[in-house]
Amino acid sequence: MELAVAVTGKPAVVYPNSGERWDARARGWSGDMAFDPEWAVGWAEKGARLVGGCCRVGPATIGALAGALAAEGGDSTG
């Protein structure tokens, strides 16, 4: 991400999924959630301006992500 921000000069968007995998044969999600809301602080420090979550990142995790950014003085108001 550092390189993308440095090269383009544009704000980065970080919108990861939970880290679980879709198992098409079983028609369900497998594996453990690997998303850590604390990672958002590092992404913001490296230039991410829009941070959120995609598949299987629910309201509680987004709330924790916003809290982590707010604790570091970031704008988590969206």
Q: For residue range 53-75, list pLDDT tens digits in order.
A: 998 999 999 999 999 999 977 55
The pLDDT, as a whole number, for residue 74 is: 58
Residue among 35, 25, 39 nearest 61 (CA): 35
Question: What pTM does this model have?
Answer: 0.70
Residue type present at position 1? M
pLDDT tens, 34-48? 888 888 888 888 888
**% helix / strand / coil in the chain, to the nearest 5?**
35, 15, 50
Mean pLDDT, the chain, rounded, equals 84
Q: Is 50 helix (H, G, I), strand (E, B) or coil?
A: strand
Tokens 């594996």 -> residue? 31
The pLDDT, as a whole number, for residue 2 is: 55
